[in-house]
Chains A and B, each alone.
Chain A
């Protein structure tokens, strides 16, 4: 899974909607998307706005959880 794919998924996601005003709830929403699309499982620590906002950190997380890196 390369970074471009993750970036594209997140771009598509944000193109559709405005983020929730509650950052934790927004993180939960992104976690649902990532777990479904990439067939990964996030820990509670990873379901966090600080982790799931930046595209580069999300791409790294997805790669690590999929064992791609």
Chain B
């Protein structure tokens, strides 16, 4: 995994010092080397985290005659099979890297190459003869790719801060992008929270040439019509799912020339990936976990148990609320986005632990909850549907207790809660039936927005996520629609970004996700909904498929969503000085996002309780303000909370056709 950046200019030759500044800002993504290519119209930059073919495979890398160049972040896990196929087509390879497969695959199949890749990538290809730039991003958005379009060309990079190395790029929030975070938890691609900065949609490629800029999907999330799923045999499906997950985990563990570790959260997903690696490979396994000093969030006993069962070498880090506050500015500088939970901060500390132990690749369980229906939002939707069939029924009302066991201790509150939480947005034909309650509860953040920003949002044309749903979705099972929404919003925009790639790459660690393997995702999409969510049993087929590899008390334990202390992290006696500064009236007015008087009321409320026992909504509101303020200060004002640039070494690839210098 690496950092990529580049410039296309139809006027003057791309500015090489600018490219170097852009690369400097991606030093954390690729500390093992760097390189660049420049001709009259394009410049490609690369910072390398060397994982496959560490001695060769430096980038940018070209085809045999130097007419196609690529800068690539990620992994193509089926590169061995593709290389064999391309060799049979007559292509000659100079390295053993997956990067070289990309240029030959492009030559052989054009834009058809992307659907053949099984991996996680963000890449840019420059075709010198055609004077054409091609950008591409993996199916589900594991790797980031941002760009800004200009009349004279385009700038692209793995991270926004790299694009901001160009001082002529305006720095401002996009009001609609902010509003989307304060509703959906993430901006909806191609929008970002920064004005004029776009992100390439997952599963898309884009082309820029003299004819202009255009883009198209090469893959999309889809499901069969309800009742017409071709695979109905549960046992057979469980066996196939297991085969695919085993193969996906093996590929991600074995296709690396450096040691690969694994995360163990204590939940079923990472337990399965670690167990598969332990069972199906011969290599010793090193596992890593994050724990919490607060027992409410800690899953240490399950992590320890799983590690003991698998016989792994295990390291963990115990995170306190003060630790979260201490690193939070750096976390936001890497996330480059407001976030509504503090949960990414412990993962930032965890990837540091991984790196300090000499590892730079980890396999994790991300994606299982989306692909195989593990989240509470799916169970909630099923209960709401059940309840909506007869809202007056006292028995149906009790279904809420199945979601929230605390209700059993307060039976008198159940009917009122059910009416308030479940009793709205009950149109089963609504494609967003599952997500309306979340969007409603999140959008209370909007009540804190400044009048000016509110006016800008109201005056802007928003994006209609529902209109982007594939044709025929009205025939899908309600669970499939909910999965589509989750895989289009929260997964790429938060789980894989602010909580994934950015927290890993901040410490130069690559994450690999077997549950997001092409063959696993495609297969899971064909399954009947009740194989995934069976009644209210989440990830039912997954539990069934791996019941022999994971202890019962982990596989059948009630799901504990990964959470970290939120508001309480910022109201400890040793809270860092930055908190008071970014939350001051002056800073709030400068950023112009939130109404200072409303924020003052929220802060007073938190101070009264030390940030403890806050409601879910107030925790979310506080995190929204803190993280937005830090995004403003660190990205727009470029106030530094950590090293913004990591000076990179001399390039191992330096091809400058403008001055005709070449070092490869």
Contact = CB atoms under 8 A, between A and B. Distances in A.
A13 B535 contact: yes
A4 interface: no
B402 A35 contact: no
A65 B104 CA distance: 59
B530 A16 contact: no
B386 interface: yes
Contacts of A44: 390, 393-396
Given A12-B234, A32-B382, A17 B537 contact: yes
Contacts of B398: 24-25, 28
Contacts of A17: 537, 556
A36 B386 CA distance: 9
B86 interface: no
B543 interface: yes
A62 interface: no
B383 A16 contact: no
B401 interface: yes
Contacts of B402: 25, 28-29, 32
A27 B396 CA distance: 10
Contacts of A12: 234, 534, 544
Contacts of B386: 31-32, 35
Most central of A24, A33, A36, A44 by chain B CB within 10 Å: A36
Nearest to A41: B389
A28 B402 CA distance: 9
Interface string A20-60: 00101101111111011100010010010000000000000
B29 to A, nearest CB: 42
Contact of B536 (A24, A29, A41): A29
B409 to A, nearest CB: 12
B535 A32 contact: yes
A54 B393 CA distance: 23
B575 interface: no
Contacts of A47: 393, 395-396
A16 B535 CA distance: 11
Contact of A28 (B382, B395, B530): B395
B401 A25 contact: yes
A36 B390 CA distance: 15
Given A17-B537, A31-B386, A36 B395 contact: no
Given A17-B556, A44-B393, A47-B395, A32 B234 contact: no
B165 interface: no
Contacts of A13: 534-535, 537
Interface in B552-597: 556
Nearest to A38: B530
B371 to A, nearest CB: 19
Contacts of A41: 389
Nearest to A15: B544
B543 A16 contact: yes
B408 interface: yes
B205 interface: no
Given A16-B543, A24-B398, A25-B401, A32 B536 contact: yes
Tell me if A's interface is mostly helix, strand, loop or mixed: helix
Tell me if B's interface is mostly helix, strand, loop or mixed: helix
A37 B479 CA distance: 12
A32 to B, nearest CB: 5
Interface in A6-21: 12-13, 16-17
A32 B530 contact: no
B399 A28 contact: yes
Contact of B540 (A16, A25, A29, A31): A16
Given A17-B537, A36-B382, A28 B556 contact: no
Contact of A16 (B395, B408, B537): B537
Contacts of A16: 534, 537, 540, 543-544, 556
A16 B393 CA distance: 28
Nearest to B397: A28
B43 to A, nearest CB: 55
Contacts of A27: 395
Given A16-B556, A47-B395, A47-B396, A33 B535 contact: yes
Contacts of B540: 16
Nearest to A45: B395
A33 B537 CA distance: 9
Interface in B387-434: 389-390, 393-396, 398-399, 401-402, 408
A33 to B, nearest CB: 3
Given A16-B540, A16-B543, A28 B534 contact: no
A33 B394 CA distance: 18
Most central of A28, A29, A30 by chain B CB within 10 Å: A28
Interface string B87-128: 000000000000000000000000000000000000000000
A30 to B, nearest CB: 8
A12 B238 CA distance: 13
Contacts of B401: 25
Most central of A24, A31, A37, A47 by chain B CB within 10 Å: A47
Most central of A12, A24, A31, A35 by chain B CB within 10 Å: A12
Most central of B383, B395, B401, B544 by chain A CB within 10 Å: B395
Contacts of A33: 534-536
A54 B78 CA distance: 50
A32 B393 contact: no
A8 B234 CA distance: 11
A53 to B, nearest CB: 15
Most central of B382, B386, B389, B408 by chain A CB within 10 Å: B386
Contacts of B390: 44
Most central of A16, A37, A41 by chain B CB within 10 Å: A16
A22 B408 CA distance: 10
Contacts of A35: 386, 389
Interface of B: 234, 382-383, 386, 389-390, 393-396, 398-399, 401-402, 408, 530, 534-537, 540, 543-544, 556
Q: 3 closest Cβ contacts across the A-B interface?
A: A33-B535, A47-B395, A32-B386
7 contacts: A13-B534, A16-B544, A29-B535, A31-B386, A33-B536, A35-B389, A44-B393
Given A13-B537, A28-B399, 17 more contacts: A12-B534, A13-B534, A16-B537, A16-B540, A16-B544, A25-B398, A25-B402, A25-B408, A29-B399, A29-B402, A29-B536, A30-B535, A36-B382, A36-B535, A37-B534, A44-B393, A44-B394
Interface of A: 12-13, 16-17, 22, 24-25, 27-33, 35-37, 41, 44, 47
